[in-house]
Structure 1
Amino acid sequence: MTGVDFGVLGPIEVLREGRPVRLAGARQRTVLATLLLAGGRVVPVTRMVRLLWGESPPPTARTQVRKQVAGLRAVLGADRVRSGPDGYAVRLEPGELDLDRFHEQVRRARAARDAGRGVEAAATLRAATALWRGPALAGGTPELVDTEAPHLEELHLAAVTERIAADLDLGRHGQVIGELTRLVQRYPLRERLRAQLMLALHRSGRTADGLAVYREGRAALSAQLGIEPGNELRELHRGMLTGDVPLAPTPDRPAEPPPCGRPAELPAPEPDLVGRTAESDAVRASLTTGRVTVVHGRGGTGKTALAVRVAHALSGDFPDGQLFVDVGERDPADVLGRLLRALGCAPTALPATLEERAARYRSLLDGRRVLVVLDDAHAEAQVAPLLPGSAACAVLVTSRGRLGVLSGAARHRLGPLPAPDAVELLARVAGPGRVVAEPAAAATLVARCGHLPLAVRIAGVRLAARPGWTVARLVRRLDDPDRRLDELVAAHLDVRAVLARDHAALDGPLRHALRVAALLPDGPFAPAQLACALGVRVDRAEDLAAALTEAGLLDQVGAAPAFRLDALVRADARRRAGRRVAACVTRDGRPGGDDTAPARPGLTRRWCPSSAS
């Protein structure tokens, strides 16, 4: 996947990683659209000139075309537009152009219809027509629109007509009357649309209204073209008068399962998401080569924002829909109920048990290309029942933990931002002028925030709300580690609350180990230091440190095993450590016992930090 999407089914546009690429005016958009519509074939310069200026091009027309092509190469990459014999061609990867995706979905829908899968055919045609974002080729020159748009709009109308026919075959006559009424008003001479509206009205018990639609159509054809309605319209009219047209479709095959909706549940992308290009590319690659991808890391690193951005960028690869659900600590049966309703199941038709719901979910997704985003999953047992059985689907999971038992999943850890990206995020939220005026203070501020995206965002919000503050003033307020978390709060954004959820996700020994590690001297520490402080064996301390690293609460540094806490995690864990109690050591000073064992007679004691209630 390249991360680039081209659009001509609406305003001419280019998206890179879901973000618009700026195109320089109608002429550049017209040159791009002309190359895209050629599907990789060389477009002669003479054709571009005609679509740019019509029959009266300026003497400099060829030079201006070359300039527009040079501009496209600058924004798309030099390898994207190649020169050919007296013309140019664009290089497209499969699925990058919305028109190509439209043709592929129409092909799939017709294959499904021919195989007797009417529900699938209707849903796929609905997905195809949903690719239209407005009038085709909007933003191009009038010559381009007049020449090329009518053909594209004809393709759109044909697909809409096919989809309505599929809906009528499924007995959905009541659902299409409003849409057909608008279409007939817009295209009064289209006899097939008029026939569909007559049939839908007749099947809805409104035969008189259907006959009136016929009379209006006959009058329009006579007045504008001087002809009578065609055979299809006349036969339908006769059948409605005689009662030969049934009030319901007559199935020629067993009834199909209830219709499966096409969900589009992705939240809006985070507008201030900064950096993460390498991570986004890695996650995209995983989703295109495997079924399950896990993005894991501590709270506040932006896992959800990255997952949503990637999901939007890949939405064209999953034309049957995108599901999004906040898993949290919910029971998987409840989550499945939520997903089944999104796929069109009536609440009263939901199966009772987890096993039955999982089976229905897999059945509804069988053969469909759907992206499922499971946000903030806590355990493998939650995720396993939510995995589709179809290899055409993909699943993107965000979690604080690695979900290491989840078989066959690709895993990507998300950590704090690199310092330059953290400063850029601060500038976007607080305003670039604040950062430009105090670059050193801005760098210190994001360091005080541990380069954690959530904390940096909160700092930016606080600065934006206080235009009289300097960046240095907020740095001074964050200097005291004991007050730092109190400062990193803005409305519903709260670093302390996120750290509390991270802490709550740990079991007892891991919570205790984190609190003890926070009370060690600042800087990297070896497992032996943690073992001594805990009063446990070194291999036990290594296991605890490794588990905390997987949870994103410790960072491993250096080639030899050594670990470090960032400032925010340390501040929170120290607050939680609270009081100090004795940990057991043996007579010869070697660690012994576990971190929660009571004192035993005959053992010496050392004062070490322990957990608070």
Structure 2
Amino acid sequence: MRIKLLGPMDVEVAGRSLDVGPRQRRLVLAALAVDAGSPVPIDALIERVWGQDTPDAPRSALYAHIARLRHFLTRAARAEESAAKPVPLVKGAQGYVLQIDHRDVDLHHIGSLAEDARAAHGEQRVLALREAMGLWRGRPLVNLMGYWASTIRRNAESQFIGIASAWAADELRLGNAQAVADRLAKVLDSYPLAEPLEDLYMRALCALGRTSEALQHYAAVREQIAEQLGHEPGPQLRDLHMAVLRGELQTPHQGTTISSAPLPRQLPMNVAHFVGRTEELAWIEDALATPRPQAATPLVSIHGAAGVGKSALAIHAAHQLAHRYPEGQMYVELSGSGTGAPPLSPSEALARLFRTLGTEPPPPAVQADEAAALLRSLVAGRRMLLVLDNASDSDQIKPLLLNGGGFGVIVTSRQPLSALGGAGQLPVRPLSVDEAVALLGRLTGPDRVAAEPAAAEAIAKLCQCLPLAVTTAAARLVSRPSWPLAELHARLADEARRLDNLEIEGIGVRASLSGSYRRLSGNADPAMRAAAEAFKLLSGCSQPVVSLSDAARLLSQSNARAELCLERLVDAQLLESVSPGRYQMNDLLRLFAQEC
């Protein structure tokens, strides 16, 4: 039995389709198949199937569909002449589980093939991508409505555009321009605004000698983008158009062999329980798409306090935008937060990038600026995304900023990297209370939060709505299933135990803040060490907001010297400037400072 979600939902047995039943029953099966092998809580199933339009007795309605689905699965097994082994649909403590092999659900199978392609090279990579393309029958779950189905549809379509881009690029290198042109012509009927695919379609047309058709296609795409989005095509598509007009487009010859080095797909796993940040994600997308002067690289610098979710935001955004960068996504952990390994030197980071691209790095005697120039030559003209996570300062990453119209760079750091000229600066704030409660619910299960909404909100506030703190609190609740939320709330309300309860296996608020503090206290600069001392003294202030003059008296310093200390703490994300001359230290920072 195969469950097909990539297109109209269908169940295929022995080469023929079986009727699952009415729309809600198909939605129940789809909701279980998306999480095949894992329990889906009853409340989550109800939300996926009915959304806001729940019937009067949603659980009874769900149980009826589950019973019918069990009969259906038995009937499907008989059709396969394997009546003794129907696909199990079982109920456990955490919810219902559809125990079907992931390879028998096309949504999972295409994801596995994409992973295989990322890890392979040469013929194996091409074969994996071809098989993945063969699974795609059109818009996923096209015959099922609702918010959940729409979300699955968007995510699958984003993944498919990345797969199709990689497939088309590889086929063009192999000289299979006709296959690319034929397939992308059909795909672009459904996704006319997918610029990476438009780019590859035009390249295929030019490789076939159909240059005038490529130019006509660009004109039509440009008009459609202007009408629907109100702006011009992106810089890559415009550059390609100009190259075609000038006759400068380099097209692969028939029989060209694919590079033996796999395209890098290094992004860490996407955040499973990502919440909020809608405006920030849109800002990052716009910033990376904004046209820049020639040779300038679109660059986004994300900065914020320890535990505020900078890395999660960067990685989530990179996954969403991966289809724009079909020739690779690279990731480097720069270790600049001070919480673990020492920061990578520019030379060490460059060496990692060389190896990522399948090239031996230059010998150690080569200076970082020379190595950077070699790397820029290696990636010139390639559409790639680079994520530089946890930078310590601007000097660490300047040699890593590979330029070119097809490149995009996302950097995260605790302090603003103001020395990066031309970078879009994105400060990240804590979540709203509602978002923090939603995150707590996703991590612990919606039933626990729904049962104690006041305690959930209180926990979120005691965590300062920091994703790291909320995640750690949720981990403690998950490891203590017998605890009501009120128990954790009581423990967090006790200031003497709050930081202890926001730490699991050495990971938590205290460990995260210690890196920021050590960068000051262990600094060779006396001014930085003075700021560290000021941080400890300010924890004794009785008011949540302190004026510059009050802080100066507390520190026994002049206003001018005190302001220098306070502003260094602001840069280190250990203090917040709420207005000129007024500063605030949140409770988690205050409790940590009292321990220093």
Match of 1:534 among 541, 547, 555: 555
Match of 2:431 among 389, 400, 417: 417
Deviation of 1:299 after TM superposition, in Å, equals 1.5
Structure-to-structure mapping, 1:500-515, within 5 angstroms: 500-506=514-520, 507-515=528-536
| Residue pair 2:166, 2:327 contacting (<8 A) in 1 also | no
Structure-to-structure mapping, 1:291-310, within 5 angstroms: 291-310=298-317
One-letter code aligned to 1:163: R
Instruction: Tell me how far apart the structure 2 counterparts of residues 302 and 444 of structure 1 sit (CA, whole Å).
Output: 20
| Residue pair 1:446, 1:456 contacting (<8 A) in 2 also | yes
Structure-to-structure mapping, 1:95-174, within 5 angstroms: 132-137=132-137, 162-164=172-174
Q: What secondary structure does 1:294 align onto?
A: strand
Cα deviations across residues 257-290 of structure 1 (Å, max 9, x unaligned)? x976421111111111111111221222222226
Normalised to the residue count of structure 1, the TM-score between the two structures is: 0.54
Cα deviations across residues 533-573 of structure 1 (Å, max 9, x unaligned)? 1122213323332332233222233x553211111111011
Deviation of 1:12 after TM superposition, in Å, equals 4.1
One-letter code aligned to 1:446: A
Instruction: Tell me how far apart the structure 1 counterparts of residues 279 and 171 of structure 2 sit (CA, whole Å).
Output: 43
Runs (5+) with no aligned partner, structure 2: 9-22, 28-49, 54-121, 144-162, 177-252, 293-297, 336-342, 521-527
2:12 paired with 1:11: no
Match of 1:427 among 419, 438, 441: 441
Instruction: Tell me how far apart the structure 2 counterparts of residues 161 and 359 of structure 1 sit (CA, whole Å).
Output: 30
| Residue pair 1:27, 1:141 contacting (<8 A) in 2 also | no
2:418 paired with 1:404: yes
Q: What secondary structure does 1:525 align onto?
A: strand
Deviation of 1:345 after TM superposition, in Å, equals 0.2
Equivalent residue pairs, number: 370
| Residue pair 1:369, 1:393 contacting (<8 A) in 2 also | yes
Structure-to-structure mapping, 1:395-544, within 5 angstroms: 395-506=409-520, 507-544=528-565
One-letter code aligned to 1:556: S
Larger radius of gyration between Structure 1 and Structure 2:
1
Deviation of 1:391 after TM superposition, in Å, equals 3.0
Deviation of 1:129 after TM superposition, in Å, equals 5.5
Deviation of 1:510 after TM superposition, in Å, equals 2.0
Deviation of 1:471 after TM superposition, in Å, equals 1.2
Normalised to the residue count of structure 2, the TM-score between the two structures is: 0.56
Q: What secondary structure does 1:374 align onto?
A: strand
Instruction: Tell me how far apart the structure 2 counterparts of residues 431 and 439 of structure 1 sit (CA, whole Å).
Output: 13
Instruction: Tell me how far apart the structure 1 counterparts of residues 371 and 482 of structure 2 sit (CA, whole Å).
Output: 56
| Residue pair 1:26, 1:140 contacting (<8 A) in 2 also | no
Instruction: Tell me how far apart the structure 1 counterparts of residues 377 and 455 of structure 2 sit (CA, whole Å).
Output: 57
2:269 paired with 1:268: yes
Distance 1:130 1:311, change over 3 A: farther
Match of 2:572 among 551, 555, 570: 551
2:591 paired with 1:571: yes
Structure-to-structure mapping, 1:233-248, within 5 angstroms: none
Q: Share of identical aligned residues, percent?
A: 34
Deviation of 1:362 after TM superposition, in Å, equals 0.6
Instruction: Tell me how far apart the structure 2 counterparts of residues 317 and 154 of structure 1 sit (CA, whole Å).
Output: 11
Instruction: Tell me how far apart the structure 2 counterparts of residues 334 and 411 of structure 1 sit (CA, whole Å).
Output: 26
Distance 1:159 1:315, change over 3 A: closer
2:333 paired with 1:326: yes
| Residue pair 2:166, 2:326 contacting (<8 A) in 1 also | no
Please give the root-mean-square deviation of Cα atoms over the aligned residues, in Å.
3.9
| Residue pair 1:530, 1:541 contacting (<8 A) in 2 also | yes
Q: Which residue of 2 aligns with 1:278?
A: 279
Instruction: Tell me how far apart the structure 1 counterparts of residues 361 and 286 of structure 2 sit (CA, whole Å).
Output: 36
Distance 1:130 1:370, change over 3 A: farther
One-letter code aligned to 2:446: P
One-letter code aligned to 1:265: Q
Q: What secondary structure does 2:496 align onto?
A: helix
